[in-house]
Structure 1
């Protein structure tokens, strides 16, 4: 009888110890997330301010697949810029309030720069004429009268964009995250405008992310 009691006591002690050592498992979620970003960026030696809207699917608070659209809201007054595309990313650890991540946007955009051109003649079709003032001085017909003053033209070109970014986010609640990020925008234009690497630049951002549904 004493042996049975001793075995029972030993089993009870082992069970209690195992229960005390069992790790606490926090639930992770998969859901659609969306939110606004503010991004400060270098643009052609100037500082621009971008507004961003983004949304996508966050799987188990680890992998992200979505999209984003950026537009120049202020700054860099000679430029008009907007672009968007697919965003892929991941963050970890999954079950902590502070998470570190990486993400990248791949897409296309359009940039317009207002420029002053000198020495052009009146037979040109402004402002739709395609010129490249950053590569070479446009040619003109010396038999035609020059345009009065120095006309301002808009030079527009489409471009490809790849923008990787490192992020740090804080989970305020199960449905709200705040974060900051730093990255760089790499671009390649169509070659018509001569923008070259003027659209490339470092970026810094602050963001808010809202979880919408999911489980």
Structure 2
């Protein structure tokens, strides 16, 4: 069974992706929410593939490729990009990555890219710049209608917090949290908390210091 270590600091994105990968027949021995944790997880588990976010609060995923290669030379690295920087894609490949896919792609396409990487092929799929700019512009336009409190709630959804935890974090009532969450769902045009969190992750709508279980690594 192909093993994958996943490094990304967006908790909801990580959890949903792990579920998809396991359902698709992959083994996920560890997930890490920091760059340092990802390198250590790769060193310990020596997986077939490392799915590596481009951005972490504690560093840049692309510049850490060399450390991951050194930790486990046989591990193939696929970068989850947060922008449309073709120079970064080229740099990642030169450093040793064999895949580079944008986070705006559907998870189905990500799994397909993984399968190509596992088959010893290259998977480079930076989206068209115009398409990305249009999508990001629309996402930011929608997010621009959120109030400050609704943005806080969105950040907590990305962290994976439920309603009781959000009430404690924000110091407000359950009814108030539910009202804010329903409002942000409506404004973003999504139908569930999970969709809202994925939307925020996909279009980078939440500050990096606001999400992710800092420094944590989970082993399976």
Higher strand content, 1 or 2: 1
- Would you call these one fold, judging by a TM-score over 0.5? no
Indicate the structure (1 or 2) with the bigger Cα radius of gyration.
1
TM tier, smaller: under 0.3
Give TM-score, length-normalised by structure 2.
0.21
Give TM-score, length-normalised by structure 1.
0.21
Higher helix content, 1 or 2: 2
